[in-house]
Amino acid sequence: MLKNKKALVTGGTRGIGKAIVFDLAANGCNVIFTYHSSEEAAKSIEKESEKFGIKIIGFKADASKFIDTEKSIQFILEKLGNLDILVNNAGITKDNLILRMTEEDFDTVISANLKSVFNYSKLAIKPMMKQRYGRIINISSVVALIGNPGQANYVASKAGVIGLTKSLAREFASRNITVNAVAPGYVSTDMTKELNEVQKEAIVSQIPLKRIAEPVDIAKVVTFLASPSADYITGQVIAVDGGMTM
């Protein structure tokens, strides 16, 4: 489905990002993924990728820093020759009620989650325009659609991602570049695994499909949006949340 395509996935060493890297690779896509801190995890993914028989390479970069973004784009163009698919997945949380949230915590989350999408999209669009083809998929969140107490900074950043997605989709549709967002609901990650049974039951009670998503549930939608099957889809936000926000 994506044979010989080249993708860049930010924040690709764990959770949703890791699942996206492997699902793209399983569909024939060569992938460069960025990571911020864990070189050990990056090397593990590279080794595990050998079973696909294609290139999966990690690159250390801070998505919030424009200079690191430039280096990432340069790296993929040197290693793979071009860039067809960009998945803006990198993100962090620094949760707190707004009365206790520091200015630094707000700025840090906005920079990591929203400015990073600006950074990578701005630079990835240049080679995409040249080849008149590109697919940009931004990972937002269902909390961007409904809000969440204690996450004002995170919600603002993910809502900003949706606005940026729609603006970029309008700017570059004429160049055959589609831009869409995926808004995951509750996903089984290291964080949710630490919840006790009562907490998990409270979450599941809000979800019509009565289960927490696995990272691969999100990854499959990203792969679809990157595929020819989604060529006529742009500027959309797809909630992958088990029906929680319907």
Active-site annotation, residues = 154
Q: Measured in whole angstroms, how far is the alpha carbon of residue 131 from the centre of its chain?
A: 23
For residues 138 and 159, what is the distance between their CA atoms, to the nearest angstrom?
Answer: 11
DSSP state of 9: E
Question: What radius of gyration do the chain's Cα atoms show?
Answer: 17
For residues 115 and 66, what is the distance between their CA atoms, to the nearest angstrom?
Answer: 9
DSSP state of 214: P
Consecutive H or E run containing 3: none
Q: Where are the beta strands (DSSP E) in the chain?
A: 6-9, 30-35, 56-60, 85-88, 134-139, 177-184, 237-240
Cross-strand pairs, 7: 31, 85
In 3-state terms, what secondary structure has residue 226?
helix
The answer to whether 33 and 12 have CB atoms below 8 angstroms apart is yes
End-to-end CA distance of the chain: 30
Compute the C-alpha angle 17/89/151, nearest 5°.
Answer: 110
| Structure-derived torsion over alpha carbons of residues 212, 35, 231, 238, reported in degrees to the nearest 10 | 30
**Structure tokens, 114:** 């929203």
